[in-house]
Structure 1
Amino acid sequence: MTGTEPPTDPPEPSQPPGPAQPAPQNPGGRGGVRLVPVLLVLTAMSGLIDAVTYLGLGHVFTANMTGNVVVLGFAAAGAPGFSVPHTATSLVFFLAGAATGGRVARRLGDGSRRAPARAMLATEALLLAVAAAVASATSDDAQVTVYAVITLTAFAMGLRNATVRRLSVPGITTTTVVTMTLTGLAADSWAGDGSGRGSPRRAAAVTAMFSGAVLGAALVLHTDLAIPLLLASVTSAAMACTASGED
């Protein structure tokens, strides 16, 4: 007999793959209130805050910087009822807030929109709460109240605007002005030979701004400045706890 190799055992069958692991939830976006309603609520709060500052602090905006630049021109020309220091302070602190918001959004926005959105909202809530506390503790026409509310709300609005710009939610590129929103609403409508795409969001943003201004004006006229500021702070805090990163 010739020598032969002993038969070898057949290879064991490979183990069947286990059950597929569920894909992890998107940590940057899922869960909570979608960004569109969050931004619409913030748009309403912008109208409220500008009502507080324009009606309660002597014709100065801290959310609407387009109006503020115009107001600064009125003040520079010596028109009565306007203040160069107040308006310039608002512009400076808005820019400071926007610069800060740009830095924070870039550092927190690695594929996630929820993290920068919630950070911005929490910071805004804190700034508005401090403004409300100052307004509550001092007279509405005291200079400490005027400058504290201007600086805190303008910084908060700059921070918010930079963050919202970074979030890039279609149809809502800002929560503090509606000029371009109205332009898009008309230009993209059937009258402008457009498809009307995005019109519901734009119309909702304009309505939100109007509603917030009405509410803010009513509160300023019938209560003190602390009440609308506190309302805006609580609203931002609620959004900070619930905002998602999804449109």
Structure 2
Amino acid sequence: MSADSAAARTDDHEERGLRLVVVLLGLTVVSGLIDAVSYLGLGHVFTANMTGNVVVLGFAAAGAPGFSVWHTLTSLACFLVGAAVGGRVAVRFGGRSRRSWARVTLAVEALLVGGCAAVAFAAPDATGTTYTLIAVTAFAMGLRNATVRKLGVPDLTTTVLTMTLTGLAADTAVGAGAGNRSPRRAASVAAMAVGALLGAWLVLRHGLGIPLLIAAVVTGALAVAASGRE
């Protein structure tokens, strides 16, 4: 087989499945679900949005009621460990098939979040459940964020929106911009809001297990369907 034929087959392999833009928007919805679970159900801590978590840590350290230094430190530490593991995975797989790399990482995230759902269903009131859910979901989000960072799809971080909103405003006609990526940015903001809304509704009415299960199923489906093309 010629080199050109092999390259064509590789490109065809990478093209199969959902574009990464669609996959990352789906993961942004999942982030909204995860943070609804963690903030509303695990003691006012974020496990996907570390920007908010650093602020929450300051609140907790100042003694503000309803916040826990240990919960927040657990989330931050496990997120950093997950991101470090994700960085190593990126070094190992980053030069290979983008599609396979994304699928493997998302499959691991789905398994971790699914395990959290099982814990939430089996022992919702157990002493260690809160710390288990914080630690495992934060690790999973760190792993994912490291992967998304290395994939480098513009304006789709899946967990934070500050720069996305900044770009959305700065690139409008008012900001003297062309607005080339405004639809993508607006879709990212909408995806996060939808995930947070759905997650909050489910947590307040049905507890933690169902939104975690939905997050795991959605992530698993995206893992199966992801392609390597933006």
TM-score normalised by structure 1 residue count: 0.88
Aligned to 1:156: 140
For residues 116 and 88 of structure 1, what CA distance do their matches in structure 2 show?
Answer: 29
Q: Secondary structure at the match of 1:26?
A: helix
Q: Of 28, 33, 40, which residue of structure 1 is paired with 2:18?
A: 33
Cα gap change, 1:150 to 1:190, in 2 (>3 Å): same
For residues 43 and 155 of structure 2, what CA distance do their matches in structure 1 show?
Answer: 32
Aligned to 1:128: 113
Report if aligned partners of 1:125, 1:234 keep a CA contact under 8 Å in 2.
Answer: yes
Could you tell me how far 1:220 is from its partner in structure 2?
A: 0.1
For residues 91 and 180 of structure 2, what CA distance do their matches in structure 1 show?
Answer: 29
Report if aligned partners of 1:28, 1:115 keep a CA contact under 8 Å in 2.
Answer: no
Report if aligned partners of 1:28, 1:113 keep a CA contact under 8 Å in 2.
Answer: no
Does 2:226 correspond to 1:226? no
Does 2:52 correspond to 1:60? no
Aligned to 1:80: 65
Aligned to 1:106: 91
For residues 29 and 121 of structure 2, what CA distance do their matches in structure 1 show?
Answer: 22
Name whichever of 107-116 and 189-198 sits farther off.
107-116
Aligned to 2:172: 189
Q: Percent identity?
A: 65
Name whichever of 100-109 and 111-120 sits farther off.
111-120
Q: Secondary structure at the match of 2:179?
A: coil
Q: Output the aligned Cα RMSD.
A: 1.4
Cα gap change, 1:146 to 1:195, in 2 (>3 Å): same
Code of the aligned partner of 1:80: P
Q: Secondary structure at the match of 1:190?
A: coil
For residues 183 and 159 of structure 2, what CA distance do their matches in structure 1 show?
Answer: 18
Q: Which deviations, in whole Å up to 9, do the C-alpha atoms of 1:52-104 show, x marking residues without a partner? A: 01000110000000000000000000111000000000000000000000110
Could you tell me how far 1:203 is from its partner in structure 2?
A: 0.3
Q: Which deviations, in whole Å up to 9, do the C-alpha atoms of 1:126-171 show, x marking residues without a partner? A: 100110111111124x331101100110000000000000001123
Code of the aligned partner of 2:128: V
For residues 182 and 21 of structure 1, what CA distance do their matches in structure 2 show?
Answer: 43
Aligned to 1:10: none
Could you tell me how far 1:28 is from its partner in structure 2?
A: 5.9
Aligned to 2:193: 210
- The structure whose residues are more often helix, as a share, is 2
Which of these two proteins has the greater Rg computed from alpha carbons?
A: 1
Give the paired residue count.
Answer: 226
Which runs of 5 or more residues in structure 2 are unaligned?
A: none
Which runs of 5 or more residues in structure 1 are unaligned?
A: 1-19
Does 2:130 correspond to 1:146? yes
Q: Of 44, 47, 56, which residue of structure 2 is paired with 1:71?
A: 56
Report if aligned partners of 1:46, 1:209 keep a CA contact under 8 Å in 2.
Answer: yes
